[in-house]
Amino acid sequence: MGVVAIEHDWRGSPSRMGALSGLLELNHSSSQWIGAAFPDNVAAEITASVAAHLAALALPHPEHTVIQPDLALSAIHALYIHLVLVLLILS
């Protein structure tokens, strides 16, 4: 999962502030665990959303924050899953 922070200047030009990424935590005794039971895309999206919200709250002006999913990454993941299923069917 990952989160990218982008800031827009007074002209509306974007600049990258930073990025966070990590693994999906499945161990319920870990302090980083937020409830994921399986390593699937839904758990990863929810974990990334929580990380994005926490990061946004730490920004100097969180009221100007927009959080949106990375749809390009979701499309790549869906294609990967499709290819794996096709390979399993053909084998």
What are the tokens at 25? 């935590």
pLDDT value, residue 29: 93
For the four alpha carbons of 61, 25, 43 and 82, in that order, the dihedral sign comes to positive
- Looking at the structure of the chain, the number of domains it has is 1
Q: Which residues of 12-22 are buried (b: 16+ CB within 10 A; e: fewer)?
A: eeeeeeeeeee
User: Across residues 1-15, what is the average pLDDT?
Assistant: 76
55 vs 78 pLDDT, higher one: 55
DSSP state of 31: T
Question: Which tens digit of pLDDT belongs to each residue from 58-85?
Answer: 877 766 777 776 666 666 666 766 677 7
> Which pLDDT score, from 0 to 100, does residue 57 have?
85
Q: What is the pLDDT of residues 10-20, one digit of tens each?
A: 788 888 777 77
Supply the range of the domain harboring residue 37: 2-90
